[in-house]
Structure 1
Amino acid sequence: MTLLAHERYCAEIAHQVGLLRSVVTSGADLSATVPTCPDWSLEQLVRHTGGALRWVELLVRTRARENVRDEQVPSHGGPESQGDPAALDAWLAETGEAVVAALREAGPDAKVWGWAGDGDARFWARRMTHEVTVHRADAARTAGLPYEVAPEVAADALDERLYLVQWVQQHLSHRAYDELRAEEHRGRSIHLHATDAPAGLDAEWLVELTGRGIAWSRGHERATVALRGPLTSVMLAFYRRLPLDSPELEVIGERKLLEFWLERTSFG
């Protein structure tokens, strides 16, 4: 698995936080329900995202060797005032600067508690890149604003999603993920195909359901079902942020298998 450079993740977190701030200050209704996270308002989504960044900042800055509770994180919940875009923006700006500074100071190999895979700052730089990237999509949709993401970031978001599903299957007991091992799905597969990838970027994936867990790789292969479309749209659909019926997407083959996958790999 090839990751982006640590500094690339740090720069992307800063970039995505800046774009999320622009949603906050766009005049959008902070009380509006987020269509893709209907339990949250736009303000709650922003506070959740900023809180996650502040939690990671504390983990990385202190080189924590075990998890820390939310209540241990300074200003985890955001500003006291509700419905105040200026206060929310200032808190988010401070949050982004702090987490990026902590990650850069630590470097990729600093040992830090992590919930999946190797415990290092590299894991958290990548995880927070995609945490903000995807939740910024939620925010943009809520505010009716356009959404774009760099191709290499969208591709890495898909890699990370598959890595985490595979890791959870191998190391944790997770009922929904365990259902992907069902005998009836053994030998079936999912192909993701980005139709607009720039030259030099391999933007096709094969996900195989082996009965023991998933196996995945980048590349072009025939599969039980294929999801085709622009890279950003494929990424958003795979994160359940874009309906499969969206006009820019095409599902070829056994759609029910893709739906089965998406229903059981939803998180974040």
Structure 2
Amino acid sequence: MHGNDSLLSYEALLTAFDEQGEALREAALTAGPEATVPTCPEWTVARLVRHVAAVQAWVLACVADPDGSEARGERPPKEWDEIVPWWDGKRAELRRAFDAGPDTPAQMLFPFYEANLDAWARRQAHEVAIHRVDVELAGGQEVTTFDTAFAADGVDEALSMIIHRRGADWSAVEASGTVLVHAEDARRLWSLTLAPGQRPALAAPAEPDVTLSGDSDAVYKRLWRRPADVSITGEAELLDPLETP
């Protein structure tokens, strides 16, 4: 598994970036800035939107200085009436930057990704999608069901994020066994082996000690620790070390 090996085309990722961003914005305005976000403890919708805006400003700094190593994005305003239009501007600016093409260099701090816009399009599409779920939950709205292709790509990317989590210390992890992740509607399997003190590793499918299965949408959300209707059979505690950042 490599971060740039998306199951989706660059154009599909950009479409998802646009659609998920607009949906998040609409859900945030419906929920209101003071609504609490149950899946992000101590966050309000205003803080979540400010976080997304700050991340996208940081990505713009990564694009502007592709050969650097410590990009610093602009800080968004703190007042709700200013946050949303400021984010609108940064989101539009980032979308224009993506038009330079997937191979355009950009700083990238996630080690499993290549340092280019293809990587950032994928990361940002899923960043915004998962936070869309958070805002819908905060507002008591119907939570979106992601289409199979996008969700299956999200499963693949989430597993990369887990395996290559920045700053992760696996030395204290004692879990040992095989984890099978099954996105049933996409007919895709991922098999991970866990060994004490070691980073999880992808492996050829083997007899699992625990299986996490369900529709791609549900498995995607579960890997990001969002509410999801999945099936877990076997040694469920083996899933505990598999935390997304």
TM-score (norm 2): 0.86
**1:136 to partner: Cα distance:** 0.9
More helix by share: 1
Q: Does 1:237 find its partner at 2:222?
A: yes
- Give the secondary structure class of the aligned counterpart of 1:145: coil
2:22 to 18, 25, 30: 18
Once residues 131 and 13 of structure 2 are traced to their aligned partners in structure 1, the CA distance between those partners, rounded to angstroms, is 16
The C-alpha deviation readout for 1:194-235, integer Å capped at 9, x for no partner, is 33x1xxx33332221145432226x86531111222221111
Alignment of 1:65-214 (within 5 A): 65-70=68-73, 73=74, 76-78=75-77, 81-82=79-80, 84=81, 87-105=82-100, 107-117=101-111, 118-146=114-142, 147-168=144-165, 174-175=168-169, 177-180=170-173, 182=174, 185-186=175-176, 188-195=177-184, 197=185, 201-211=186-196, 212-214=198-200
Which is bigger in relative contact order (C-alpha 8 A, separation at least 6)? 2
| Amino acid corresponding to residue 107 of structure 2 in structure 1 | W
- Tell me the distance in 2 between the aligned counterparts of 1:141 and 1:173: 29
1:215 is aligned to 2:201: yes
Q: CA deviation at 1:178?
A: 3.9
Task: Calculate percent identity across the aligned residue pairs.
Answer: 26
Normalised TM-score (structure 1) = 0.79
Aligned-residue offset at 1:137: 0.9
Paired with 1:165 and 1:178, the residues of 2 have a C-alpha distance of 15
What secondary structure is seen at the aligned counterpart in 2 of 1:261?
Answer: coil
- Mapping of 1:25-36 within 5 angstroms? 25-26=29-30, 28-36=31-39
Please state whether the residue corresponding to 1:33 is helix, strand or coil.
coil
Deviation string, structure 1 residues 129-178 (Cα, Å, up to 9, x no partner): 1111111111111111221222222111221122233334xxx6522x44
For 2:9, the equivalent position in structure 1 comes to 5
Cα distance in structure 2, aligned partners of 1:178 and 1:160: 23
Looking at structure 2, the residues matched to 253 and 81 of structure 1 have their Cα atoms a distance apart, in angstroms, of 48
- Say which SS state the counterpart of residue 36 (structure 1) adopts: coil
State the one-letter code of the partner of 1:139: V
Mapped to 1, the partners of 2:162 and 2:225 lie a distance apart of 15
Q: Which runs of 5+ in 2 are unaligned?
A: none
Return the alpha-carbon distance in structure 2 between the equivalents of residues 119 and 178 of structure 1. 28
Label 1:173 to 1:92 Cα distance change in 2 as closer, same or farther (>3 A). closer
For structure 1, the residue ranges without an aligned partner over 5 or more in a row are none
